């Protein structure tokens, strides 16, 4: 998918760990630039941080079991910092090695592999750093499929409402959302897109629905954002939306 997107001038793939990119293109394990931010498991991040510090190790049994499952010794006063590095490398590289191999095979099948290995300057174009991926309000607005009705969602079916009050709600919430996008910071725009579709960059089409609900939600697989109709002030809408999109750091952001 990534290879075909690149060949057909589609979006690139920002946010891939530099450690994964290094191994993907046949870098050695010893020279891999692994950092704590590369670890996708937040619980393991906390374990690594505890082992790196000099404070007393809590939850010793859990850490011991984790080390045993990865063929590593139990932590003690002399090996804890060495063990922290080993756990980090295992969580980032060893646990994903099979996926990295499949990733490379996919790039080879699309014919990109010779280009990427011979022209290393192309790699950052295909896999830009997330911090370098710029999102503008207009990029998002150009991709949105705006709603025309209010959607009432039940467990097994959905109803589209089109009376005058519903149309007013759709227009008001759509106006609030457009104002939010136009005035959001770059970080807020990235969080919004990640919350909405699970990626850092906008998709070609991203759907907005106005629904009966308490808070904004998203169906990332369907690239659909659901905004509640009940807001009567932009301030309250802004507060709830910011609170919801700020949760993206603990989910799709850790890839």
Q: Which domains does the chain have, with CATH numbers?
A: 2-131 (no CATH), 134-250 (3.30.2410.10)
- Following DSSP, what letter does each residue of 151-184 receive, concatenated? EEE-SS-EEEE-SHHHHHHHHHHHHHHHHHHHH-
Per-residue 3-state assignment (H helix, E strand, C coil) for 87-136:
HHHHHHCHHHHHHHHHHHHHHHHCCCHHHHHHCHHHHHHHCCCHHHCCCC
The reported pLDDT for the residue numbered 131 is: 60
Q: Is the pLDDT of residue 254 over 50?
A: no
User: With pLDDT > 90 as the criterion, what percentage of the chain qualifies?
Assistant: 30
Q: Is the pLDDT of residue 156 over 60?
A: no
The segment with the largest mean pLDDT, out of 60-74, 97-111, 196-210, 216-230, is 216-230
Helix (H) or strand (E) holding 206: strand 206-211
Top pLDDT among 143 and 4 is at: 143
pLDDT digits (tens, 9 = 90+) for 20-35: 888 888 778 778 888 8
> Which residue pairs, CB below 8 angstroms and at least 24 apart, start in 232-240?
232/172, 234/176, 234/179, 237/173, 237/176, 237/177, 237/180, 238/176, 238/180, 240/215, 240/216
Crossing angle of helices 42-52/60-69, nearest 10°? 110
Average pLDDT over residues 135-144: 92
Helix (H) or strand (E) holding 21: helix 18-24
Tell me how far CA of residue 211 lies from CA of 88, 111, 140, 193, in angstroms.
43, 44, 21, 19
Q: Output the six-digit token pair for 203.
A: 């998709």
The H-assigned helical ranges of 27-78 are 42-52, 60-69
| CA gap 124, 97 in Å, rounded | 21
The segment with the largest mean pLDDT, out of 45-49, 52-56, 105-109, 178-182, is 178-182
* Maximum pairwise Cα distance, the chain: 72
The reported pLDDT for the residue numbered 37 is: 83
Confidence of residue 189 (pLDDT cuts 50, 70, 90): very high
The reported pLDDT for the residue numbered 132 is: 61
Mean pLDDT of the chain: 84
């Amino acid at each position: 998918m990534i290879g075909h997107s690149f060949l057909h001038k589609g979006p690139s793939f920002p946010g891939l760990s530099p450690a994964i990119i290094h191994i993907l293109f046949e870098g050695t394990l010893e020279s891999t630039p692994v950092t704590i931010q590369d670890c996708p498991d937040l619980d393991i991040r906390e374990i690594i941080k505890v082992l790196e510090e000099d404070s007393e190790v809590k939850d010793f049994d859990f850490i011991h079991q984790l080390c045993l499952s990865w063929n590593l010794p139990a932590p003690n006063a002399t090996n804890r910092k060495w063990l922290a590095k080993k756990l980090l490398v295992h969580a980032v590289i060893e646990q994903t090695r099979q996926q990295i191999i499949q990733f490379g095979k996919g790039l080879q099948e699309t014919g990109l592999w010779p280009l990427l290995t011979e022209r290393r300057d192309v790699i950052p174009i295909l896999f830009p750093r997330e911090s370098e991926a710029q999102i503008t309000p207009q990029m998002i607005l150009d991709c949105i499929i705006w709603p025309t009705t209010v959607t009432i969602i039940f467990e097994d079916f959905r109803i589209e409402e089109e009376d005058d009050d519903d149309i007013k709600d759709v227009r008001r919430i759509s106006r609030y959302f457009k104002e939010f996008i136009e005035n959001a910071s770059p970080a807020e725009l990235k969080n919004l897109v990640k919350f909405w579709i699970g990626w850092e960059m906008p998709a070609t089409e991203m759907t907005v629905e106005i629904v009966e609900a308490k808070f904004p939600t998203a169906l990332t697989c369907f690239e659909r954002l659901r905004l509640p109709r009940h807001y009567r002030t932009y301030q309250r809408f802004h507060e709830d939306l910011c609170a919801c999109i700020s949760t993206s750091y603990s989910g799709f952001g850790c890839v």
